[in-house]
Amino acid sequence: MIRHQRLEHRFVEHIPERLQTGVLYVSMDYATSAHSCCCGCGEEVIVPFTPTDWKMTFDGETISLRPSIGNWTLKCRSHYVIDRNKVIEAGPWSDEQVEAERRRDRAAKERFYGQSAKAEPPAHTAPATAQGGIWQRIWTWISAPKQ
């Protein structure tokens, strides 16, 4: 059951160490978002924005994330969509459905990155940009001191 029906979004540079419930933190610098699980269990949910993971849409007032968020590794196994800051509960998935999605995800990563998706892409294959590749930005964010 979903306890939080709506999320307030906050654009931040760094995700705070302690997440407030009902808040979707979005870091464009690190192409990721984080929130406390909407079922109310209190677990942290990280959603990376990559060509093979989630997409974030900001319409000037609200945020949507696609595809759905399936917390299959959490005890709660919650599943929901965030659409214009509203949390919409999605149906539960069987272990077979979860495994099929994991296979699809690995195949998408292999097609996009051109290598086995069992390990993250090596840093030398990331596109060179002024801010570094996505993996470099995520590593920098993870290893940055929390305020």
Give tens-digit pLDDT for 53-70: 999 999 999 999 999 999
CA angle 56, 22, 98 (to 5 degrees): 55
Phi, psi (deg, nearest 5) at residue 6: -150, 145
What is the predicted pLDDT for the residue at 138?
57
What is the predicted pLDDT for the residue at 1?
84
Domain ranges across the chain: 8-91+131-142
Separation between Cα atoms, residue 32 and residue 45, nearest integer Å: 11
% of the chain surpassing 70 pLDDT: 78
**The token pair that represents 51 in the structure block:** 């060509």
Q: Give the H/E segment covering residue 9.
A: strand 8-11
**The whole model's pTM is what?**
0.76
What is the predicted pLDDT for the residue at 133?
57
Phi, psi (deg, nearest 5) at residue 135: -65, -40
- Is residue 26 very low, low, confident or very high in pLDDT (cuts 50, 70, 90)? very high
Identify the residue whose tokens are 């849409």: 57
% of the chain surpassing 90 pLDDT: 76
Would you say how long the chain is, in residues? 147
Q: Give the H/E segment covering residue 87.
A: strand 86-89
Average pLDDT score over the chain: 85
pLDDT at 72 over 90: yes
Give tens-digit pLDDT for 88-137: 999 999 999 999 999 999 999 999 998 654 554 443 333 333 344 555 55
